[in-house]
Structure 1
């Protein structure tokens, strides 16, 4: 992050020197990417789409986990009265079921992360197009996305969110 900030500052200083103008004459903008991904309608729509897409699998997995927990509790209660062979067989079955549950949980998380990355990259791509349009239309010299501090005078995040919500 420090390298990124240093590169940004060097780029801004170089731009200032190259243009031969004072820093106050530069038109600088800042976009809070996290806020865009949290508040923009396309990002919210992508999140809702993902929730709908994975809801059934999450529910099935939760049900399987509850059944497995119930079976483990039942075995714990019955274990003292069960014959050794029966207890061993049931423990083995539960271990197999637990491995299956853990595998399904990992697969769900991997699939969810992959789809989330796909959906968010589409939103980021749209946001970058909007930022470029604002850059060109309003004749900015530089628009930054990763900074430590930015004042409200240079923050154009709301413009970007509004443009995304308008479908531009």
Structure 2
């Protein structure tokens, strides 16, 4: 499987058009839609479920922390007119500190989640690339593209790859 730049792919397509019809018929090109594989293949769905389970507790904690911060802010807004200047300043400082802590934890959560998503996605893509190679070798494809502006559906082997990935469990 080769991932080609668009310029190279266009040059290759032009060369194929100029080649003799017999030669063009022997050259087999396939296309794989990586986005569909990530959305539809069982290993990708399993990775997503694993991430949801792994991060659900932290996500709930963040939600609870956000709710508590909102409630504290609303209470402060209601109580502010009756508070002394020093009490109002103290409560504002507490709210700012709480918000800063909430933002920090939310940022850490997002960074951790993104890092784990990338790890899981990389594993799924590596498996998918192995399956694409197997399909290409078995069916005698000369070139498999992963990105294209347009592809004739008859060259799309994404369904075959998804079926092979799903069966490889």
Query: TM over 0.5, yes or no?
Result: yes
Q: CA deviation at 1:148?
A: 1.2
Deviates most, 122-131 or 7-16: 7-16
Aligned pairs for 1:140-155 (under 5 A) are: 140-155=141-156
Q: CA deviation at 1:150?
A: 1.1
Q: CA deviation at 1:12?
A: 4.6
In structure 1, the residue corresponding to 2:153 is in which secondary structure?
coil
Aligned length: 166
Counterpart of 2:7? 6
Q: 1:42·1:123 contact (CA, 8 Å) conserved in 2? A: yes
C-alpha distance in 1 between matches for 2:91 and 2:147 = 55
Counterpart of 1:131? 132
Deviates most, 17-26 or 5-14: 17-26
Runs of 4+ in 1 over 4 A off after TM superposition: 12-21
Counterpart of 1:93? 94
Find out whether 1:68 has 2:69 as its counterpart.
Answer: yes
Structure 2's unaligned 5+ residue stretches are none
C-alpha distance in 2 between matches for 1:86 and 1:72 = 14
Q: CA deviation at 1:5?
A: 1.6
Structure 1's unaligned 5+ residue stretches are none
Counterpart of 2:115? 114
What is the RMSD of the two structures over their aligned residues, measured on CA atoms?
A: 2.0
C-alpha distance in 2 between matches for 1:22 and 1:13 = 13
